[in-house]
Structure 1
Amino acid sequence: MELSNLTRNEIGMPLAGFGTYQLSADQAETSVEEALKKGFRHIDSAEGYNNEEGTGRGIKESGVPRSEIFVTTKLFPGYKSWGAPEKTYEQTIETLKNQLKLLQLDYVDLYLIHAPLAELRLEQWRALMELKKLGLTRHIGVSNYNEEKIKEILNAGLAKPEANQIEFHPMNTQMELTKYMKENSIVPIAYSSLAPLSNWRSVEGQGGEVLADLKKEGQVVIKDIAAKLNVSEAKLLLRWGLQHEYSVLTRSTKAERIKENLNLFDFEIPNSDMELLNKLNKNQPFAWAANGLNPMEAAPLLK
């Protein structure tokens, strides 16, 4: 079954998407093409992934009509602590225009500020509002924003973010933020759903070994429930996110796993097992840990 035939969220985004983080441009090209041919209809990219040219080639070569594909990409806002200059309003506008050239697209479906790392983040948000008016993106949102940073936008009298993409899995449930987003009709999108697993980012240099000891106890629970339900641990974690009403992202360079990770709608996790998974929460993010950073807490004060 093609994902286009499955449930989408409020902004038309398929609930299971294909991510491109840590893929080379060539890997992004072949994997995105394969994912679309296997039925994925949501592709998630970012300026900071440095592979949008390959992602764009994969979209084009898949032969799937543009109208059927939901494409997300993100603005890297700049971060002074990394020596990366913060983007101004004008630079934010130009950044998406350049990303569209790389992606070989006329528009993206969702454009996100990747993290609230810049003092200029309200200026950048105003630019995203303008990009939506220009038709270069159909929806605008944020990523790695906590409740405080979302309220900062609202208190400035600016348009509400339509979505927030955050690290979300049984060891980092962020339930208060999840509740806030639901109450305010902000679409929740999960990344790093597979972070609890021992083989997550296991290639040297990907950073999966950081904080690995914190996961061991929970991995036993995940393994037992997956075995009981006769599904892979990856599918279990992705399904857990779906049952919390998140859109989820998966990524692989292997054709058989790409296909398997799309089949998330043919089983359900019983409530008792959902509770066991929920109890694994440590409020511990893992995705940015190799950089020594929690992006939700690293935001500078506005001046």
Structure 2
Amino acid sequence: MSTVPEVTLNNGIRMPQLGFGVYQVPEDETQRVVASALEAGYRSIDTAALYRNEAGTGRALAESGIPRDELFVTTKLWNTDQGHDAALRAFEESLAKLGLDHVDLYLVHWPLPARDLYVETWRALEKVYAEGRARAIGVSNFHPAHLRRLTEETDVVPAVNQIELHPRLQQQELRAFDAGLGIATEAWSPLGRGNGVLEDPAVTAIAEKHGRTPAQVVLRWHLQLGNIVIPKSATESRIRENLDVFGFELDEEDMAAVEPLETGARVGPDPDTFN
């Protein structure tokens, strides 16, 4: 089993740099899929209220026999639960579904700037953080303006900003902004979700050179940039393949060859306009 490196978050909590995402895994398959991931060696699992699979995730964690302190569990607050009191209720619901007394990371899923509730929502997260029921709190899909406002109007700097990030959308400015505030950047859709990255000649050439798959090359690229990454797969062979990225390294030439793949094209919505 590969040893996954850890990233130390801005509050001293350590988080595996490579985890397992369960976006779009149906609830009735979640327990099996998460159990496969845990068996393969993943210890960080990323779910969300929106995914409707927190209960299946929780069952897999409970039945794994892995000590709770060896697991890193992330879930997220959905948009309909923004606002201080609604967020606190939603947090309780997520904990109950997961069957846990705390999560390791709790994220605000989207800023929804037009609704303008993310600051008061964040204050609710600060409360569960102060109580120790979320070991770290963070955000997802936040742009610099949203982050700047949070840090000016509240007390706790987010530990993580989970954003769409892949070779077609490399987010250099946002990653630099996060780093300037001490916020770790985590990539969702790290392999580009069907946008042609894995078939790109530059990526396939690097894969051939190292005797690896294109997906392994892209995950390695993320890790070497310092991103936290959470690939998702429901296929056992791919679950294992995505974890097997620590036995090789991309050289400067490889890293440079990925840079021109940037197009700015998103596979998800734009956080500035998504409401």
TM category (shorter chain) comes to over 0.9
CA distance in 2 between partners of 1:250 and 1:32 (Å): 12
Q: Is the 8 A contact 2:198 2:214 kept in 1?
A: no
Q: Show the counterpart of 1:81.
A: none
Q: C-alpha offsets along residues 253-295 of structure 1, whole Å, 9 cap, x if unaligned?
A: 2222211211111111111110110111112211x2xxxx32x
TM-score (norm 1): 0.85
Instruction: State yes or no: 1:114 paired with 2:105.
Output: no
Give the ranges of 4+ consecutive aligned residues of structure 1 lying more than 3 Å apart after TM superposition: 215-218
Q: Is the 8 A contact 1:16 1:247 kept in 2?
A: yes
Q: Show the counterpart of 2:92.
A: 97
Instruction: State yes or no: 1:250 paired with 2:231.
Output: yes
CA distance in 1 between partners of 2:199 and 2:246 (Å): 24
Q: Show the counterpart of 1:205.
A: none
- How many residue pairs get matched? 269
Q: CA deviation at 1:77?
A: 2.3
Aligned with 1:111: secondary structure?
strand
Aligned with 2:240: secondary structure?
helix
CA distance in 1 between partners of 2:45 and 2:198 (Å): 33
Q: Show the counterpart of 2:251.
A: 270
Q: CA deviation at 1:237?
A: 0.7
CA distance in 2 between partners of 1:253 and 1:95 (Å): 27
Q: CA deviation at 1:157?
A: 3.9
Distance 1:106-1:22 versus aligned 2 partners, 3 A rule = same
CA distance in 2 between partners of 1:111 and 1:216 (Å): 30
* Structure 1 residues without counterparts, runs of 5 or longer: 79-85, 201-207
Letter paired with 1:91 = A
Instruction: State yes or no: 1:172 paired with 2:169.
Output: yes
Letter paired with 1:110 = L
Q: Show the counterpart of 1:238.
A: 219
* Structure 2 residues without counterparts, runs of 5 or longer: none
CA distance in 1 between partners of 2:73 and 2:220 (Å): 21
Distance 1:91-1:216 versus aligned 2 partners, 3 A rule = closer
TM-score (norm 2): 0.93
Q: CA deviation at 1:91?
A: 1.1
CA distance in 2 between partners of 1:40 and 1:299 (Å): 32
Instruction: State yes or no: 1:10 paired with 2:12.
Output: no
Q: Is the 8 A contact 1:110 1:138 kept in 2?
A: yes
Q: Show the counterpart of 1:261.
A: 242
Tell me how large the CA RMSD over aligned residues is.
1.7
Identity %: 36
